[in-house]
Amino acid sequence: MSSSKRSESPNRLPRDQRWIVVVFFLMLAFPFFGVFPYIGVLMNPNENTRTYMTIAIVDHKTFQLDAVVGRFGWVNDMASRRGKDGIPHSYSVKGPLNSFMAVPVYWLQTKWAAWRKNPSPPVTAPPEKRTEWFEKTTWVLRFFTVQLPCYLFLIWFERYLRGHSKDTALRLIAVAAAGVGTNYLGYAHMFVSHSLFAVAAFVGFGMAERELREKPDARERSRWAAFASGMGIAAATGFEYHGFFMSFILAVFGLVVFYRPTRLLAYGLGAAIPMGLVAFYQWKAFGSPLTPGHKFVENAQWASEHARGLYGVIVPTWKAIGALSFDPGYGFFGMSPYMLFGLFSIGLVLVSPLGRGRAATVQRTSTLVWMFAMMALWFAMAGAIEWRAGWTLGARRAGAAPPFFAMGALVFFERLSQRWPSLRGAFRGVSLGTALVGVVSLGVVGIFFNTLPEDLSRPFREFTLPYIRIGGVPHHNAQLLGFKGTSFWYFVAAMTILAPVVAALGGRDLSRPVFDESSSKTTSGAKRTWWALAAALPVAIAAGYPAMHVPKTATPYALDYWSQVWQPPRRDRIAVLMSEVAKNPCATHYIADCQAIIRMPALAQYTRTTATVPQASCKRGLLREWFP
């Protein structure tokens, strides 16, 4: 009996399609858990202020960062407020939920380290000991409080999307487009809240939307779903203050869905937890539960900016909206063209939704809700005086957007596929091709390094690709098992790119004939598979051209600074070749080639003058030139 019930579950996949989902998520595990992009000397304020707050709570039983700054060094993005003792004290200016989430993890780390007789170093410890501790702490907090929740969310997201499409291939491509085709992946590799912002916001929306869609009778809607929805929507603002307007719209939607008294109570209790934590922090740090740290920001320029409008948010300009949306170097849609179909889906759903009757009404309603929520997010993001947001990977403040637009894009392709089923393979190809652009322009960059200066016009072409060619890749977690080379990072990058490809070609429905009612013809599965393959490549080339093409007017970005600070040092092809010069005189020319690749022409020219053999006598194969 129980077996029969399981087989009738609307979200349970046929046996011969489950394998592709398992393989897909096993492949995604590598980009989420396989690398550790970290350059400690940058003292990243976006990450370190959050880490400092967690350390202060556990080690010093306070929200004040003074003692932590004394141990590990000053960082930007702090607030300063005079305490009762008359002395100014430093606090984190970021949304505090990141730091609160990490408290039990860091507490366990300190206990484990003490048991291993390697406790948290005091301010009097040698600098290298403190540096080592902070790097390990960053790894632990990233892994357990950001990477793991963000990965698990994608597994939940795929199951949630089964209610919007039964096409396994289209659904998995949507998950890949959101998870590794936007900056979601890059910011999952930092102890920051931008990807957790997406998790919280979409779980809050999704739990309410699913209950509304699946349970017409409000009395049957789950109290647990109401609790989770309230917590997620409130937590979105607790992670990112500028998510307040978006959270307000989603909160109204949740109130309408969970209006029954017991569900409303659960909804309120869920929301009260993150709201209470934020209010408690602001009261203790800044004197009022309703005052964020932006009022006391330490940086003088930012202080003057935050004094304008609503803590630095004013009426957005069209320039900011357009650039954050469509710029091919940092715009949300410009770097992830798959997400444009989510934008197109809004009009399609309002005119021709999936299903009829109540199902159509629910889909129209939920689409309007997430549309207005995204408009509110864009208003806050583009309305910030510092709308470019400094050193970023893509549109950093649009962190909540990927799952919403990915869901919309999936609905768009599913609706077209239902209308023209014989073209389903072609729609899969278009879906895959546009998703791959984001995977390369943001996903591969994200597992390489996730905080890039504003003067990079095309991050992959100008920054990541040159270093990939010379083997200058970041830390990876295979180092923990003793593998010190660079090959594992390339394997992780391959898994990142191949995951959506495998998703597009997998599943039983690709091999089945399909009857197209509009043309009264049957299309074979083989032809549909060919369409998916044939369409993906030209679509990827066309859609990816803006994000990959460096304009002739762009000033070439110099990479010499990164060569000096890169971690781990001396593991790239230049370092390897330097050890071969004595045995292989041609190595000098190969070193010069590598220096030219990373745009250090003067140094490359000087290196070539030190060679003891002419360049013409040294031959180099293609594989040796591209890979270490």
Beta strands at 35-36 and 78-82: parallel, antiparallel or unpaired: unpaired
Sign of CA pseudo-dihedral 478, 481, 482, 483: negative
Highest mean pLDDT among 150-159, 302-311, 354-363, 606-615: 150-159
More confident residue, 175 or 509: 175
**Residue 273 carries which side chain, given as an amino acid letter?**
I
264: phi then psi, degrees, rounded to nearest 5: -65, -40
Exposure of 385 in the CB half-sphere (CA atoms within 13 A): 12
- Residue type for position 299: N
Tell which wins on pLDDT, 485 or 348.
Answer: 348
**C-alpha torsion 450→452→458→463, nearest 10:** -80
Backbone torsion region of residue 520, taken as left when φ is above 0, otherwise alpha when ψ lies between -120 and 50, otherwise beta: left
Nearest-Å Rg of the Cα atoms of the chain is: 26
pLDDT at 559: 86
Query: Residue 266 above 90 pLDDT?
Result: yes
pLDDT band at residue 553 using 50, 70 and 90 as cut-offs: confident
Q: Residues 192-208: pLDDT tens digits?
A: 999 999 999 999 999 99
248 touches 376 (CB < 8 A): yes
The Cα–Cα gap between 188 and 203 comes to 17
Structure tokens at 295: 């009022």
Expressed in percent and rounded to 5, the helix, strand and coil fractions of the chain are 70, 5, 30
Taking 70 as the threshold, does the pLDDT of residue 10 lie above it?
no
Q: Tell me, what's the pLDDT at 523?
A: 53
pLDDT tens digit sequence for 46-64? 999 999 999 999 999 999 9
- Position 541 pLDDT exceeds 90: yes
Q: pLDDT at residue 335 above 50?
A: yes
- Cα dihedral sign, 45-50-54-56: positive
Mean pLDDT of the chain: 90
CB atoms within 10 A of CB 308: 11
Cβ-contact 57, 284 below 8 angstroms: no
pLDDT over threshold 70, residue 483 = yes
Q: What's the confidence (pLDDT) of residue 83?
A: 87
Residue 526 pLDDT exceeds 60: no
Cα–Cα–Cα angle for 519, 522, 525, rounded to 5 degrees: 130
Give percent of the chain with pLDDT exceeding 70: 93
Instruction: List the single range of 104-118, 515-529, 582-596 with lowest mean pLDDT.
Output: 515-529
Residues 370 and 236: beta-carbon distance below 8 Å: no
Euclidean distance between CA atoms 146 and 32, whole angstroms:
10
The pLDDT value recorded for residue 441 is: 96
Q: Are 431 and 173 in contact (CB under 8 A)?
A: yes
Task: For 119-160, write each residue's pLDDT tens digit.
Answer: 999 999 999 999 999 999 999 999 999 999 999 999 999 999
Query: In whole angstroms, what is the distance from residue 96 CA to residue 266 CA?
Result: 23
Question: What is the Cα–Cα distance from 44 to 75, expressed in whole angstroms?
Answer: 7
Q: What percent of the chain shows pLDDT beyond 90?
A: 69
pLDDT over threshold 70, residue 3:
no
313 vs 411 pLDDT, higher one = 411
Residue 525 CB-density burial (10 A; 0-12 exposed, 13-18 middle, 19+ buried): middle
Task: Tell me what pLDDT residue 507 has.
Answer: 54
Between 118 and 335, the more confident residue is 335
Going from the C-alpha of 312 to that of each of 193, 286, 297, 302, the distances in angstroms are 19, 18, 11, 8
Predicted local confidence at residue 6, as pLDDT: 40
Of 204-218, 409-423, 456-470, 614-628, the range with the lowest mean pLDDT is 614-628
- Residue 620 is predicted with a pLDDT of 63
C-beta separation of 391 from 179 below 8 A = no
Please give the C-alpha separations between residue 414 and each of 89, 117, 354, 479, 520, in angstroms, as whole numbers: 55, 57, 8, 42, 20
Q: Which value, to the nearest 10 degrees, does the dihedral of the CA atoms of residues 478, 468, 192, 153 take?
A: -70
pLDDT, residue 625, reads 45
Quote the pTM value.
Answer: 0.93
| pLDDT bracket for residue 429 (50, 70, 90) | very high
Residues forming a β-bridge with 92:
78
- Range 133-162 burial, b when 16+ CB lie within 10 A, else e: bbeebbbbbbbbbbbeebbebbeebbebbb
Q: Determine the pLDDT at residue 463.
A: 93
Strand-strand pairing, 35-36 and 521-523: unpaired
Cα 160–Cα 401–Cα 360 angle in degrees, nearest 5: 50
16 pLDDT above the threshold of 80: no
Q: How many CA atoms lie within 13 A of 308 on its CB side?
A: 12
Count Cα atoms within 13 angstroms, Cβ side, for 163.
16
Position 2 scores a pLDDT of 42
Query: What is residue 380's predicted lDDT score, i.e. its pLDDT?
Result: 94
Q: Which two tokens stand for residue 507?
A: 């599943």
Look at 33-42, 297-306, 309-318 and tell me which has the smallest mean pLDDT. Answer: 297-306
Predicted confidence at residue 514, as pLDDT, reads 52
Can you read off the two tokens belonging to residue 54? Answer: 């967690």
Helix (H, G, I), strand (E, B) or coil at 310: strand
- Which of 412, 407, 509 is CA-nearest to residue 174? 407
Is the distance from CB of 562 to CB of 452 less than 8 angstroms?
A: no
CA 347 to chain CA mean position, Å: 27
What DSSP string describes 577-601?
HHTTTTT-TTHHHHHHHHHHHTT-H
Locate 107 and state its tokens. 């507490």
pLDDT at res. 505: 78
Helix axis angle for 318-326 and 358-383, nearest 10°, is: 110
Per-residue confidence band for 421, with pLDDT thresholds at 50, 70 and 90: confident
Mean pLDDT is lowest, of 300-304, 492-496, 621-625, for: 621-625
